[in-house]
Amino acid sequence: MEYYPWSNDVLSTSIKEFSCGKLPCLDLELGASCQLKAKTGGCIYCDSNGLVGKHNPAELSVKEICRVIDQGVNLGLKWVYICGLGEPTDDPKAKDVIKYLSHSKVKMSMFSNGINYSDENIEFFFENKVNLIIKCDSFDPDIFNYLLGGNKAKSLHVADSVYETIGKLIKIGYSQTSNDPSLALSIVLTNVNLSKVPEIIEFCKTWNVFPLLGELENAGRASVAFNELSPSENQLSRLRDIATEILGYNYEIPVCPAAFSGLHINNMGDCIVHKQSGSSCAWFSLVEPETEVLGNVRVDSLANLRDKLIQYRKNLKESNNLAKWLTTVWSENQLSHVFGGCGGRKLMELWAGEERDE
């Protein structure tokens, strides 16, 4: 069972194409708007605290995003991953961007909270083959609403709205055949919902939906109550064993191909990398990341930004800073041994392999 946009097939192909000078992936932020935060205060573990909530008028426009996509297509763009910052379905640009990607024959994956999806939206996503990762931390509405904002979320029946969305996505055909868009459920593991997670994994197995088990990040709002919310390593290891038993294979978090073989473009147009590794995803370490800005799509071409990324990674290796950082990470056990963040330790192993290949 795989979430196809994060499958080994897409990952290996993307790495090969990137090494040949192409740009197969973009990790693209849309807007900062999030109605959940406006109405309930937002998820208690939101890692974008302070940046999310209201539309920023300085964000990239539809026209600017489409220009970026055009440049990407000329460089071999195959996938766009929309993950992070606000809720994409609350962004009025989202449908225009999706239409343009579909028209440009670029595949896409989108992370969403799944709240208040209309039948029209569900049909639109399915027809445009939008692969979806939907937040679902528990099938117990009291627990899920607590994680989504507490009493305000409960009064608005937010959890029920997500459950309804998941049911409709499966009914319309998500993940039911190899030709259908993929569906994954994102499950953030906390002491509040941990005992309920096996039920979600069983559900996912029944409906061919990928269970994306992610550890709590010590960042954003979660940092305030991290020690209270975060399960122990032993608890997480037991859950991994349960997931393996239910699914029938050794469960691990897959690597998003954009982290290794793409550019991360934020809502303001900045191209951002993880400072210590040069990864285009900075969240795998489960802590507030240090980042570097390589440029901005309003003044830099994607080809130029790709070259800057390659040079940045080369400089890290030649200065021995990447090797030093990797050694520190491994020796001090700074990363979780169980699931990890986006790509978890599997992503780090890719970086380690890249370093050894030099």
Residue pLDDT, tens place only, 15-39: 999 999 999 999 999 988 888 888 8
CA atoms within 13 A on the CB side of 139: 12
The pLDDT of 181-208, averaged and rounded, is 96
Please state which of the ranges 11-20, 80-89, 166-175 shows the lowest mean pLDDT.
Answer: 80-89
- Does pLDDT of 352 surpass 70? no
The confidence score (pLDDT) of residue 161 equals 97
Q: What is the pTM (predicted TM-score) of this model?
A: 0.93
Domains of the chain: 4-258 (3.20.20.70)
Phi, psi of 156 (to 5 degrees): -95, 0
Which tens digit of pLDDT belongs to each residue from 283-319?
766 777 789 999 999 999 999 999 999 999 999 888 8
Per-residue model confidence as pLDDT tens digits over 232-281: 989 999 999 999 999 999 998 888 899 889 999 999 999 999 988 888 98
pLDDT (average), residues 220-224: 81
pLDDT at 342: 64
Residue 1, Cβ density class (10 Å: 0-12 exposed, 13-18 middle, ≥19 buried): middle
CA distances from 271 to 24, 116, 182, 300 (A): 16, 31, 27, 9
Q: How far apart are CA 197 and CA 199, in angstroms?
A: 5
Taking residue 341's Cβ as centre, other Cβ atoms within 10 Å add up to 24
Q: At CA 207, angle to CA 203 and CA 208, rounded to 5? A: 110
Segment of 10-14, 223-227, 329-333 carrying the highest mean pLDDT: 10-14
Can you tell me the mean pLDDT for 181-210?
A: 96
pLDDT in tens, 122-150: 999 999 999 999 999 999 999 999 999 99
Tally Cβ neighbours within 10 Å of residue 105. 9
Find how far residue 195's CA is from the centre of its chain: 24
* 197 — pLDDT class (breaks 50, 70, 90): very high
